[in-house]
Amino acid sequence: MITPVASPSPISATSAHGVTAARAALPQAFRRIRLDLAREKGHPEGSNSHTYAFVAPLDVNGHISPELWAAHREVCRAVRNRDGEQSIGHLVRRPGGSWAFRYPADAHLDDEAGYHFGDERFLIGEYVSIHEHDGMHTFRVIAVEPV
């Protein structure tokens, strides 16, 4: 079982890399979401040092709202954590409607696609999959908080 680590969120309203004013005007649907690696080969207990934290607008069922994302995409930041090293990027919607994390400052990282993110519910305890450079990995939603 994964025990959440008490640490400050890497994506906070006061450290939004120049978008603090934009966050003040955000609709209430925006949430800060944290995903931790679920159990898999090599990580039988999962991992709270292999995580994603991102901001996204969720509808009443916990699905990402494409309309609200389009209106406020600049605040939909994402942070990829791997054993203490962070890559900062954005949640993006690609042609065809799929979702991915994009890291413009890390040229060595390709987009990491969320598997059916448009259909997934981002509720605590749910599982989602992300296609990384080494294959598909399952993550557990461990936090969903208002921004």
d(CA 85, CA 12): 18
pLDDT higher at 63 or 7 = 63
Q: Classify burial at 138, counting beta carbons within 10 Å of its beta carbon; exposed 0-12, middle 13-18, buried 19 or more.
A: middle
pLDDT digits (tens, 9 = 90+) for 45-64: 999 999 999 999 999 999 99
Going by pLDDT thresholds of 50, 70 and 90, the confidence category of residue 89 is very high
Other C-beta atoms within 10 Å of 27: how many? 11
Burial track 102-121 (b if 16+ CB lie within 10 A, e otherwise): ebeeeeebeebbbeebeebe
Q: Would you state the pLDDT for residue 23?
A: 55
Please compute the mean of the pLDDT values over residues 96-107 and round it to a whole number.
87
Spans of all domains in the chain: 28-146
- pTM as predicted: 0.82
Q: Would you state the pLDDT for residue 22?
A: 55
Q: Would you state the pLDDT for residue 3?
A: 37
d(CA 50, CA 85): 10
Q: Would you state the pLDDT for residue 111?
A: 86
